[in-house]
Structure 1
Amino acid sequence: MVSKALNEQQLKAICSVLADTNEGLTKKEISNILLQCKIKLVDDGYSRNDYSYTIGLNKRDWLYNCFVNEINKSESFEKIFLFIEKAMDPVLYTNEGKRKKYNYLFEELNKVLILFGLSLTKEGKLGYTEKAKTLDEVDRRVNSLKKHLYNRAIHHEVTKYCIKDYLRKDYYDTVFEAAKGLAERVRTITGLSDDGVELFQTAFSTKDPYIFFNKLSTKSEVSEFNGLKKLLEAIFQLVRNPAAHTPKVNWKIDETKALDILTVISFAHKYLDECHKMPYKK
């Protein structure tokens, strides 16, 4: 068991993750783990009678009060760390429906813990680690979203335009900016100022191309040249145009779909790596 003292802000940050309204532990789950750790369940302020009721503290503040009461009584953080380990015991999340909660808790807790020199293993055990000094360092060391991008070998031209949106889980702006970056890449190569389908049709015209991709001397080369143009057009028609004309609240996109779209855009960029401006075009 680790031996370390936490300050008020650190303790509150841990409670905010564990008792998050949407992704955190339920009140019942928190109560069960507190009892397992022999931490007293302090009064949460909830009351009810025949005429009225009082809502009481939210989960986050109630858990914080339970922790503070235990620390003041025992003058130790031992049971607080025990609570974290019990809360993150992998056996609690074997059900497929609970994996999202586990992934959220594991990542967000580690973002907090690493700032004061602790980390949580996949086995649900706490241990010491090098203390992170900045939020950028936290993202590099903890953020699973970046790992997903790395695992898919996402092109640097994609991450250049959308990495900040992606890391804050704004998948709408992520794919929108990545698609716009694709058009900007073609404009940079060709010197054209058009946008969207018009840009791609001009740049990849087989009669008067602005882009040199192959010699266009065989049916296969023409097919490949046209295929890249159609891929770029399809990305804009499927992603950029709907995102531009649909209210953000109505365009539903989750992380998996965003990663799939970024992978396709990355694939297009890897083809554009082989493209050059026709030397006779000014």
Structure 2
Amino acid sequence: MEIRLIATQIGDRLKYDTSVNEINRVGQSILKVRKESFANDSITSVRAQEVYNWIMTLGKTSLTKEERNKRLVKFCMELAPDEQKGSISEFLIANGCDYNAVNKDHLNEFYSRNYHPEIIRHSKKLFLQQNYFHSVFESAKAFNYSVKQKAQSDKDGQDLMMSAFSLNGVLKLNFGMTETERNVQDGVKFLSGGLMRAVRNPTAHEPALDWPINKQECLDFLSMISFLFHQLDKSIYYNG
């Protein structure tokens, strides 16, 4: 693992997105080492130097490779804003950090939900990067697109869901002959419309910092969208 390069580059990438106090707080709580100082004439930012010192200290501490990787990834991901998590994780992997091994438990938690294949396709990578906001957003967008295609509709978002899954809509979940069947149809309509109103619309218009989504919320949101994808799979297009 190219620890010196990682220490220099991570510090440079994060110097505008955090504070010295935050760097030291995260370093103490996650890296669990006694920080030392390391001279580097190419670093001119105090915050970049602090990140460099923490990572270099971790690099010289006697730990197993797996434990060092685990602490390094958690440190970097905790400091990184959502829009940088993806590029930083790719950088760590490219420079010898076994990111997938570190995130083994994270991945198991994701797969334990038995998500619809579309959720896995659109959200797994973002979830592993701890980019929970965009993991949910991409799955909500994918569901909207799939409904739009199957309903052959020009509508979008909440209007699309309320139209396509209505009792008079083109996506039929059942025959609609009994009160129970009609309630099921209405239920999926309102859940789908609610998803668009509660998730897709806010995430499309709000910065991630203004509406943070934690891991548990992300898993729960994805479970809801997965359920709706399965309902969409069962639906029949009928424009009678």
Q: Report TM bin, short chain.
A: 0.5 to 0.7
- Structure 1 residues 91-130: aligned runs within 5 Å: 105=71
Q: Helix, strand or coil: the match of 2:162?
A: helix
Partner of 2:146: 185
Superimposed CA distance per residue, residues 93-115 of structure 1 (whole angstroms, 9 cap, x where no aligned partner): xxxxxxxxx99528669xxxxxx
Q: Helix, strand or coil: the match of 1:58?
A: helix
Distance 1:192 1:103 in 2: 48
Distance 2:171 2:73 in 1: 44
- Please tell me whether residue 217 in structure 1 is matched to residue 177 in structure 2: yes
- What percentage of residue pairs aligned between the two structures are identical? 24
Q: CA deviation at 1:233?
A: 0.9
Q: Tell me the C-alpha RMSD between the 2 structures.
A: 4.0
Partner of 1:265: 225
How many residue pairs match? The answer is: 201
Distance 2:58 2:109 in 1: 37
Distance 2:136 2:58 in 1: 42
Q: CA deviation at 1:194?
A: 0.9
Q: Helix, strand or coil: the match of 2:234?
A: coil
Q: Is the 8 A contact 1:27 1:59 kept in 2?
A: no
Residue 238 (structure 1) aligned to one of 186, 198, 201? 198
Distance 1:239 1:66 in 2: 39
Q: CA deviation at 1:157?
A: 1.2
Distance 2:123 2:31 in 1: 39
Greater Rg over alpha carbons, structure: 1
TM-score calculated relative to the size of structure 1:
0.57
- Structure 1 residues 140-159: aligned runs within 5 Å: 140-143=100-103, 144-159=105-120
Distance 2:139 2:129 in 1: 15
Q: Which amino acid aligns with 1:215?
A: F
- Structure 1 residues 30-49: aligned runs within 5 Å: 30-31=33-34
Q: CA deviation at 1:274?
A: 0.9
Q: CA deviation at 1:44?
A: 5.3
Q: CA deviation at 1:23?
A: 3.6
Structure 1: 5+ residue runs without aligned partners? 1-5, 35-40, 46-54, 68-79, 89-101, 110-132
TM-score calculated relative to the size of structure 2:
0.66
Q: Helix, strand or coil: the match of 2:126?
A: helix
Distance 2:94 2:125 in 1: 16
